[in-house]
Amino acid sequence: MKKIQISPSILSADFSKLGDDIKRLEDSGADMIHVDVMDGHFVPNLTIGPPVIKSLRKYTKLPFDVHLMIDPVHKYIKDYSDAGADIITFHPEATGNILQTIDLIKSLNKKVGISLNPDTEITAAEEHLDKVDLILIMSVYPGFGGQKFIKDVVKKIVKLNQIRADQKFRFKIEIDGGINFETSKIAVEAGVDILVSGTTIFKENNGDLKKNIQTLKQI
């Protein structure tokens, strides 16, 4: 039985008490914390940056799974590394040179992820699959929590999982967007290892974080 990891998205947390909510997520069994960074340019929303991440670092030992929805991205990588990111995931469209950005993240001793939007094919990352730790499959168009799961991405996960098996790659497959108690089953069956979820974890069962995280883990 594959061990599914849960990376709750703090986009759905209470931004007036992010530290407390991160502590609650850790106490509720989260495996890492998904930090959605948005710049109001790559996506039509604006969230948090390095100073906030730095201040949150002391609240948990859990890995910060930092999802950079920013463009340009390369020149800011070190700021997120210094702020305490453990996994740094970027969108290929936001860098002029994917390999250079991968190498920079690795030079900082951080794990590297590439995120594929629903309309971005695997070919955008295919030549780098041997170098990355994570492929983040977006099952919504990035920018907001609470959106509906785009089922079309399932065939992309199946294909990516097949490529991973055939080529014996070691990257993990993470999915992000519209993940609830039903869509998580579809994602895991298709080959996903890590589930990102914001709305379902923070809102279902009257916001019982432990119950929601444990339910997703047992999918």
Q: Which residues belong to the active site? A: 36, 176
Contact 173, 153 (CB under 8 A): no
161 binding partner (options ligand DX5, Zn ion, none; Cβ < 5 to 8 Å by kind): none
**Residue 181 · residue 214 · CB < 8 Å:** no
Helix pair 183-190, 154-167: axis angle to 10 deg: 30
Instruction: Report if residue 5 touches ligand DX5, rule: CB under 6 A.
Output: no
Examine residue 172 and tell whether it contacts Zn ion (CB under 5 A): no
Stretch that binds Zn ion, among 17-25, 35-43, 53-61, 150-158 (CB under 5 A): 35-43
Q: How far apart are CA 41 and CA 64, in angstroms?
A: 23
CB of 34 to Zn ion, least distance (A): 6
Q: Nearest distance from residue 93's CB to Zn ion, in Å?
A: 15
Nearer to ligand DX5, 63 or 177 (CB): 177
**Contact string 165-204 vs ligand DX5 (x = CB under 6 A):** -----------xxxx----------------xxxx-----
Adjacent-strand bridge partners of 39: 46
Nearer to Zn ion, 69 or 98 (CB): 69
Give phi and psi for 94, each to the nearest 5: -95, 5
Pick the piece of the chain touching ligand DX5 (CB under 6 A) from 17-25, 49-57, 98-106, 136-144.
Answer: 136-144
Q: Which stretch binds ligand DX5 (CB under 6 A): 8-16, 70-78, 83-91, 187-195?
A: 8-16
Q: Which of residues 27-56 bind ligand DX5 (CB under 6 A)?
A: 34, 36
Please identify, among the stretches 15-23, 49-57, 96-104, 137-145, the one whose residues bind ligand DX5 according to the rule CB under 6 A.
Answer: 137-145
* Residue-by-residue DSSP string for 53-98: HHHHGGG--S-EEEEEE-SS-GGGHHHHHHHT-SEEEE-GGG-S-H
Torsion angle (degrees, nearest 10) of CA 187, 191, 194, 195: 0
The count of chain residues that interact with ligand DX5, using the rule CB under 6 A, is 20
Instruction: Say if residues 89 and 67 touch (Cβ distance below 8 Å).
Output: yes
Structure tokens at 161: 């999982």
Q: By 3-state DSSP, what share of the chain in percent is helix, strand and coil, each rounded to 5?
A: 45, 20, 35
Interacting residues with ligand DX5 (CB under 6 A): 9, 11-12, 34, 36, 67, 140, 142-143, 145-147, 176-179, 196-199
